[in-house]
Amino acid sequence: MQTLNIIDKINKLKRQKNAVILSHFYQTDDIQDIADFVGDSLALAQEAAKSSAKIIVFAGVHFMAETAKIINPKSKVLLPDMDAGCSLADSCPPKNFKIFKEQYPNHLVISYINCSAEIKTMTDIVCTSSNALKIVNSLPKDAKIIFAPDKNLGGYINKISGRNMVLWDGSCDVHNILEAEKIVELKLKNTDAKLIAHPECQAAVLELADFVGSTSALLQYTSTSNFKKFIVATESGILHQMKKQNPTKEFIIVPSDKTCSCNDCPHMKKITLKKIYNVLLNESNEIILSDFIMKNALKPINRMLELS
């Protein structure tokens, strides 16, 4: 009998077990290509919410798999590597956040989805980079708001909305490291290119950008714009869809430092086809959350989904 390759084996198991693979744009090309759905954090949450699959294999990081489980408790949610965390989520430990929150009574909490489920239980509305402005603007102009955990996204929303939200001092190691100086150099060398940036980048980078948006918004911009060349300030995985949708356009990823020409999230890149196959086969690495978390983290996620 012919030996099946890993992709055929995964597809066979998916059919046998009524499973789907949801992948974030920051996954490697081979994973994006095998996935049933590829999207940004908001689209993945929406997809998980409406999925009727028995098993969801989440090709992404821990907080995304947790979110999928919370909004779709009937599905078994499997994360191919339990160590696929997130530096931004880790920058907001629940114990410290609880003390921080107590210093600001009468404040509503808006949390970026890149946080632990426990932080979500202390949150009024969750948001993603796709809908952060819309969520903030859904609250009265004089509302007192804490925004956590990303100070860069929070600062950017403060700037464009004219608000003064209190910001938790957290950031994403992958985006926060991108330097404005390096980008200015790239812009000078490529005067015909548009600079596009994810709002997790520092304010100095966002100020230089021609367009700021979530991964989906950046992808859409490159596909609908008449420009042919883009300097991309975000994680390198997004280039796969950008090149697929725009084979004649040129994309220059902003390098994270002088020694590295790539810009990879080490957590996202922990997921491999082999690990996807293993968790599907053994139904291992299941996300299990307490009843308290399931109930209390669902409310702010549902508020976000209603407002989106």
Residues of this chain that bind ligand 13P (CB under 6 A) = 40-41, 114, 128-130, 172, 200, 214-215
Structure tokens at 236: 């390198």
User: What are the Cα distances from residue 34, in Å, to 31, 52, 62, 304?
Assistant: 5, 19, 20, 29
Of the pair 53, 216, the CB lying nearest ligand SF4 is at: 216
Structure tokens at 277: 């196959």
* Site for ligand SF4, residues 214 to 233, rule: CB under 6 A: none
- Closest approach, Cβ 68 to ligand 13P, in A, equals 14
Tell me whether residue 107 is exposed, middle or buried, using C-beta atoms within 10 angstroms of its C-beta: 0 to 12, 13 to 18, 19 or more: middle
Q: Which does 41 bind (CB under 5 to 8 A by kind): ligand 13P, ligand SF4, none?
A: ligand 13P
Of the pair 53, 111, the CB lying nearest ligand SF4 is at: 111
Asked if 174 is part of the footprint of ligand SF4 (rule: CB under 6 A), the reply reads yes
Using CA atoms of 83, 101, 201, 23 in order, give the dihedral in degrees to the nearest 10: 40
Of the pair 176, 215, the CB lying nearest ligand 13P is at: 215
DSSP, res 194: E
Which positions ≥6 away from 89 have C-beta within 8 Å?
61, 62, 63, 114, 115, 116, 119, 149
Q: 4 with 94: CB under 8 angstroms?
A: no
Site string (250-289) toward ligand SF4, x via CB under 6 A = ---------------x-xx---------------------
Structure tokens at 76: 């078994």
Asked if 240 is part of the footprint of ligand SF4 (rule: CB under 6 A), the reply reads no
User: What are the Cα distances from residue 257, in Å, to 178, 182, 254?
Assistant: 7, 8, 9
Q: Which does 81 bind (CB under 5 to 8 A by kind): ligand 13P, ligand SF4, none?
A: none
Separation between Cα atoms, residue 97 and residue 216, nearest integer Å: 29
Q: Which does 91 bind (CB under 5 to 8 A by kind): ligand 13P, ligand SF4, none?
A: none
- Closest approach, Cβ 40 to ligand 13P, in A, equals 3
Q: Which does 158 bind (CB under 5 to 8 A by kind): ligand 13P, ligand SF4, none?
A: none
Q: Which does 176 bind (CB under 5 to 8 A by kind): ligand SF4, ligand 13P, none?
A: none
Asked if 117 is part of the footprint of ligand SF4 (rule: CB under 6 A), the reply reads no
Separation between Cα atoms, residue 129 and residue 214, nearest integer Å: 5
Asked if 212 is part of the footprint of ligand SF4 (rule: CB under 6 A), the reply reads no
Q: Which does 28 bind (CB under 5 to 8 A by kind): ligand SF4, ligand 13P, none?
A: none
Separation between Cα atoms, residue 301 and residue 281, nearest integer Å: 30
Q: Which residues bind ligand SF4 (CB under 6 A)?
A: 26, 61, 86-88, 114, 172-174, 200, 235, 265, 267-268
